[in-house]
């Protein structure tokens, strides 16, 4: 299968308590399976601080969602994209859905956090990569708690801190 890359040149990450609906353009992204049987593996996530203040902590969490996004899914951040890494990638019959905006935005599950990607947004960098295939966070289908993950800011961090994000994932 072919790997894909989500790229957000800059996004203002807001902070959210668990099980709180996100607002468009205020979180990194979500990834949702394109069918009820599709499996997706996340291989890499990078967050690059762009804030102008010296103390701008961003408590970024990749977590499964207890409410999944629906209706009018789109990237609402300028310059954001989801593209294949290989130009010869064939289109999937049921492509994964990625975005940071929807009519119904996701909500992070209270107990299903996968990665803590915190950093100081004043020039800080957090780079995570799975060393082996079995270390990849995996989605299955498109249902609550298993078929969607999101990258969002957690309560206590600096709301609105600017960061750049990229994520490499692979629909199977």
Where exactly are the structural domains of the chain? 4-171
Q: Which residues contact 116 (CB under 8 A, 6 or more apart)?
A: 59, 60, 61
Considering the entire predicted model, what is its pTM? 0.94
- What is the full per-residue pLDDT of the chain (172 aa) written as tens digits? 689 999 999 999 999 999 999 999 999 999 999 999 999 999 999 999 999 888 899 999 999 999 999 987 788 888 899 999 998 888 888 899 999 999 999 999 999 999 999 999 999 999 999 999 899 999 999 999 999 999 999 999 999 899 999 999 999 8
Q: What is the DSSP string of the chain?
A: ---EEEEEEEEEE-EE-TT-B--TTSS-EEEE-SSSS-EEEEEEEEEEE--SSS--EE-EEEEEEEE--BSS-B--STT-EEEESSTTPPPPSS--EEESB-SB--EEEEEEEEEE--EETTT-EEEEE-SSGGGS-EEETTSTTTSEEEEEEETTS-TTEEEEEEEEEEE-
Q: What is the CA radius of gyration of the chain?
A: 15
pLDDT per position as a tens digit, 63-86: 999 999 998 778 888 889 999 999
Nearest to 65 by CA among 123, 21, 103: 21
């Amino acid at each position: 299968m072919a790997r894909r890359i989500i790229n957000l040149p800059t996004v203002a990450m807001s902070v959210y308590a668990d099980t709180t609906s996100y607002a468009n353009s205020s979180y990194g992204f979500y990834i949702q399976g394109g069918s009820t049987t599709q499996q997706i593996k996340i291989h890499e996530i990078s967050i690059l601080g762009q804030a102008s203040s010296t103390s701008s902590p961003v408590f970024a969490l990749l977590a499964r969602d207890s409410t999944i996004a629906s209706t009018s899914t789109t990237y609402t951040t300028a310059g954001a994209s989801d593209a294949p890494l290989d130009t010869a990638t064939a289109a999937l019959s049921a492509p994964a859905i990625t975005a940071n905006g929807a009519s119904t935005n996701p909500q992070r599950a209270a107990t299903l956090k996968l990665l803590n990607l915190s950093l100081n947004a004043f020039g800080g960098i957090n780079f995570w990569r799975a060393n082996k295939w079995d270390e990849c966070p995996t989605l299955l289908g498109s249902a609550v708690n298993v078929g969607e993950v999101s990258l969002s800011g957690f309560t206590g961090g600096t709301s609105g801190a600017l960061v750049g994000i990229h994520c490499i994932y692979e629909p199977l």
